[in-house]
Structure 1
Amino acid sequence: MIRAELLATALVEDGTTETELRLYRRLLKQGPEYTIRIAGGTDLMSSRRHGSEDALGELACRGLSGKPGARVLIGGLGIGFTLASTLRHLGPDASVTVAELVSDVVDWNRTWLGECAGNPLDDPRASAVVGDVAELIERGDWDAIVLDVDNGPEALTTQSNAGLYSMAGLAKAAKALRERGVLLVWSSSSDGAFERRLRNAGFSVEVHRVRAHQRKGARHVIWVASPGGPVSSATRRRRKG
């Protein structure tokens, strides 16, 4: 078995706790494989398994390829596959902003990881912002908001992300979208409670289950949510109260 080489580490501060991210590389016959992993925990992402990230970018851009000045916000840079896919499906005058909490992850994408997804940060339509995607959501005027920051609404990378998936966070996302805009959320597994929350927040919801690697591997979940869906009676009562 080919051992993985530790290339770099990065600390993620979350209130009073710290999490260490580790970047590993394995030199395989078919080329290098990169993995970002939580120290002592699970793999967050791999350069060999990005089928659902490719699908995430494509789904975000349905109907946007011919739209002048389309604006897309992505939460989470990772290894760059979601960004690269989004750029492939947008026109020449579109813009894509990526919010990444960890500055080291942006640096890794400009060095070791850039080649994995075709150096998407070099595209003039792309810009990376080191910071919280929630702050950029509140600035508004997005055609698509793509949340790829956690392993799911319950499997959080940092606890500070919990607000993104709350009723209040979903309301902010809906308000930040342009007419016919969409919110997309990536997850490593299904989450019925979150899907109900999306609907209760007034979104029409599509659920896509996509293989992690071509036709193999686990099925990841992508929710595509459009404002204007039916709101439950319980939600209406809460709003009136």
Structure 2
Amino acid sequence: MHIHRTPENNERPRERLLAYGAQTLTSAELLAIILRTGIKGCDAVSLGNRLINQFNGLRGLLSAHAAALMATTGLGKAKTCELLAINELARRAMAEELEQGITLNQPQQVKTYCAALLGHLKIEHCVALYLDSQLRLIATDEIAKGTLSQASVYPREVVRSALGHHASALILAHNHPSGVAEPSQADLVLTRHLKQALSMVDIRLLDHLIVTGGTAVSLAERGQV
């Protein structure tokens, strides 16, 4: 069923968005505007609700891989591409803000960016955020990808990559798929070794973030960097 067939005009998501703002719509209604159509026996808003529930929330839906989306009833190639594009645009918007801003003075923005990047992943990934002398983002690189419980990070490779980016500072971030935000002993050892290795080439390790779901814990804020 198309959105424009909804019986009451003032209940249609598009009209309500234009009249009152996007913030007044539910997540399912916002999805309905993107999806445009539902499927037999299920209008666009109902399909939006079904997708949110099926993927355990918006984060799961918007971070799902193409194959998982394509295999979902009601999502063809076009809708799958739209959802993938929205997630990538959101990630790029956050990266753009970091590139234009002073990263060190925006810790919450960095946490949000890293949570969006890593929070949905089922195995451990470790990324490095390379910063210039003004503490603006130069690049974000994946430096390790591990099993469910561990990822191997080699400080010498991180140092080499940081020098290649002409970075003056670095923020490390990795996810804990277990959902436990507490740093492991290995996390703390890696932080110490990496900080020492970077200091030898005058590059600062500003923070090490541990991401679980939609949140990120800063080791710097806990005095562990």
Task: Give the strand-richer structure, 1 or 2.
Answer: 1
TM range (shorter): 0.3 to 0.5
State TM-score, norm by structure 1: 0.31
Higher helix share: 2
